[in-house]
Structure 1
Amino acid sequence: MPHPTQPVFRPALAALFLSVFAQGAALACEAAPPVVRDIDANRYYTDSRSSIVDPVLKARNEAAVKPVNDYLEGVARAANAWQRDGKPADAQCGLGWLQAWAEGGGMLGTMTTNQSWYTRKWTLSGLALSYARVKPQATPAQRAAIEAWLRRLADLTIAHADAHKGVRNNHYYWEGLAVTATGAVTGEARYLAWGRKVFDHAMGQIQPDGSLPLEVARAGKALGYHLYAAAPLVLMASILDLQHPNLDRLVRFGAANVADPSVLQRMTGAEQEKPSRMPGWVAIYDRHAAEPWAKEAPPANNWDARMGGDRSLPNPLEHLR
């Protein structure tokens, strides 16, 4: 039975909306999906090292967060279509969806678990980055509503992060990206300063060999979590226009272990889940780094809604080399 403040999402509407984008057809924008205020997500790892996934719990979590993820996907598709093709209807579609949830208090309700907070910060990251793509087309009323909402979400993200100081791993970095992107797109210096604090902390965790101790602790998922931890840091560096040798070490450590994970396997004592290639965020890194990695072209489908959509399409918040 649906939560009274969380109306049933219309999957058929979302599927139609996203299929139109995927086909590159002219956008016929549907009304924004019902506002989700509360998020009731669940943890799905079964061991203390967060390396073993329970498929039943994973499926339950995916079902719980699907309405939020689908909403973010729709906003990102519209924003990317506008930046790529310049059709005002695409910008207004994305802005309309953002305004609807802003005025409805989207994600400002109850977060039942840490996993719920994680979902909200990932979503804030993608929304702020997508909004950056369409902001020039926003009306004053849209800007006021959307930016006030993003700031409220950023304040809640900061409050949660500052209250949970025991673990400063990849989740902290993604909180940093969400707040940094909000600061950059709204012009709020205090958010940029908080993001810089997170970035500096992360740089202090990176070891001389480029590894992150808290991600090494993830056993067979250590490689994946090194790559996942690097993603927000790479984009934060570009938004804040920072260069740091430790970030370069982290990127190259990840790349070396994608090619040959034997180093991490020795460090963890566990066989690594090995991706076929470097993640597509390397395109963001190469656009900003003093010495690009550039061993191969980014994947043709370089999409991550949490990072603002198409990572091969420079975000307006990035500082290009």
Structure 2
Amino acid sequence: MANRTRWTLKRHVAASLLTLTAALTSTSFAKAADETCFKTPTPVISLGFGSRYEADSKTRSDIDEESDAAVTKALKPIDQFIQNLAKIVSKAESEKDVATRRAYQRCVVDSIYAWAKADALSDMRTFNAKLSVPSRIGGLAILYAESRDQVPGLHDRERVIEKWLQKRAQEIVYFFENEATKGASRNNLRAWASLAVGEVGVLNRDRGLVEWSILSNDNMITNADSDGSLPLEMNRQRYALHYQLHAMAPLVTSVARNCEAGYGKGGADLDKLKKMARFSITAVKDPKIVQKINGKSQTVKPGLKNNLSAIAWLEPYVSVTNDLEMEKEFASFRPMSNTKLGGNLTKLYDDRRISCTISVQN
């Protein structure tokens, strides 16, 4: 009887230990999840707002402060989501422990999956909302691409994400081909659309989307002036240099990522792209160069150090052009980051040299 009592007691103790261990393990996993992720925000389904600019501003350079604030407020939840994802992606890229790195990568996939499952950004109710969404889709697609296929067991979620991104990309193409104004279909907004559509095309191996991106990039480079300035952006009065940089960011990144995916440069003139990059950086150092073109003083503060996020595209630029002379201009300012281009671009392109030789077969 005593032996049976001792055996029963041991069994209860063992069971209690197992329960305690399971509880501690569950708590540990929960804590690890909290430490490697953030609370996914409620998916934004609909957007509807007007222009940031005065209604009678033909050059779209006269800001309507009230409308500008309303647009920023509407986009803030999406932009904050992208910023949080970019931080996680950057942490994953720097993490040496495999388990922790996968936890970061799972965070990215799970968070974007929540938005994909809800069909986020599917209801663009105004013209200006449709203009604003491509840069956000592009940012999400790049951040997803950096985390895709890294964690076992997530393929079902990844298929949902890729299908969702495909729908958004097709809507972007339709808008720019059928609804966008002549200016919007050729300026920095088209470059952001090109980046988004190309990235989604690469993810889904959709040659049509990639070709649309390549053609868009080629047109922008071809239409740049011989000095490297973009005529449509130079018309933006005191915001001209700001928008030159705003166009170069997605344009350069899109060219680099399409090349890296094996689709080649699609006829893009890389020598012309170098002129555009050098004009942009020279103008950042001395904005009066742009003032001489359009007669307006610029909003951009002089100096590379004052514009690091706006010139972070120099990392993919050097990777695809091997312009070592340009690299010397910004090397001391590393790391270079821009959340809509993938976060820490120095880490993403870390001494990589991207070939523009066509290798994709589909």
Please point out which of 309, 331, 339 is paired with 1:297.
331
Pairwise mapping of residues 306-317 of structure 1 onto structure 2 (< 5 A)?
306-314=340-348
Q: Which residue of 2 aligns with 1:106?
A: 120
Hey, what's the Cα distance between the residues in 2 that align with 1:313 and 1:150?
A: 25
For 2:107 and 2:128, locate their aligned partners in 1 and report how far apart those are by CA, in whole Å.
29
Q: d(CA) in 2 for partners of 1:146 and 1:105? A: 9
Matched, 1:236 2:254: yes
Aligned-residue CA RMSD in angstroms?
2.2
Contact 2:238/2:299 (8 A) holds in 1: yes
1:26 positional shift: 7.3
Aligned equivalents of 1:146 and 1:217: distance in 2?
38
- 1:287 partner letter: S
Instruction: Give how far 1:114 is off.
Output: 2.7
Do structure 1's residue 77 and structure 2's residue 87 form an aligned pair? Answer: yes
Q: Does the Cα contact within 8 Å between 2:270 and 2:321 map onto a contact in 1?
A: no
Distance 1:135 1:237, change over 3 A: same
Return the letter of the residue paired with 2:273: L
2:145 to 125, 128, 132: 132
Stretches of structure 1 lacking an aligned partner (at least 5 in a row) = 1-24
Q: 1:37 aligns with which of 19, 31, 45?
A: 45
Provide the residue aligned with 1:177 in structure 2.
195
Q: Determine helix, strand or coil for the equivalent of 1:193.
A: helix
In the alignment, is the contact (CA less than 8 A) between 1:133 and 1:315 conserved in 2? no
What corresponds to 1:59 in structure 2? 69
The 8 Å contact of residues 280 and 299 in structure 1, kept in 2 or not, is answered as no
Secondary structure in structure 2 of the residue aligned to 1:312: helix
Q: Report which stretch shifted further, 84-93 or 299-308.
A: 299-308
SS of 1:207's partner is coil
How far 1:41 sits from its partner (Å)?
Answer: 3.1
CA distance in 2, matches of 1:157, 1:319: 30
Secondary structure of 2:149 counterpart: helix
The question of 1:93 aligning with 2:127 is answered: no
Structure 2 gaps of 5+ residues are: 1-32, 260-264, 356-362
Shift of 1:315: 5.9
Q: Secondary structure at the match of 1:136?
A: coil
Offset, 1:217? 0.4
Whether the aligned pair in 2 keeps the contact of 1:83 and 1:134 (CA below 8 Å) is: no
Q: TM-score, normalised by structure 1?
A: 0.85
Q: Is the 8 A contact 1:239 1:319 kept in 2?
A: no
Look up the equivalent residue of 1:159 and give its one-letter code. Answer: Y
Please give the alpha-carbon distance, in whole angstroms, between the structure 2 residues aligned to 1:36 and 1:262: 41
Structure 1 range deviating more: 248-257 or 111-120 = 111-120
Which is richer in helix? 2
If you compute each CA radius of gyration, which structure gives the higher value, 1 or 2?
2
Pick from 316, 322, 327 the counterpart of residue 284 of structure 1. Answer: 316
In structure 1, distance between residues paired with 2:49 and 2:109: 27
Asked whether the 8 Å contact 2:253–2:316 carries over to 1, the reply is yes
Higher deviation after alignment, 307-316 or 41-50:
307-316
Q: After the TM superposition, list the runs of 4 or more consecutive aligned residues in structure 1 that deviate by more than 4 angstroms.
A: none
Q: Distance in 2 between matches of 1:301 and 1:273?
A: 24
Q: 1:257 to 1:144 in 2, by over 3 A?
A: same
Specify the code of the residue in structure 2 equivalent to 1:36.
Answer: V
Partner of 2:224: 206
Q: Which moved more, 1:29-38 or 1:174-183?
A: 29-38
Helix, strand or coil: the match of 2:229?
coil
Q: Flag the 1:74–1:283 CA change in 2: closer, same or farther, 3 A.
A: same
Deviation at 1:31, TM superposition (A): 4.3
Look up the match of 2:5: none
- Contact 2:49/2:129 (CA < 8 Å) preserved in 1? yes
1:54–1:211 CA distance, 2 compared to 1 (3 A): same
Q: State the SS of the aligned residue for 1:27.
A: helix
Question: How many residues are paired up?
Answer: 295
Cα shift readout 1:57-113 (whole Å, capped 9, x = no counterpart): 22211111111112222222222322221521111111111111111111112x122
Q: Report the Cα distance in structure 2 between the residues aligned to 1:225 and 1:156, rounded to whole angstroms.
A: 24
Distance 2:73 2:300 in 1: 26
Equivalent residue, structure 1, for 2:243:
225
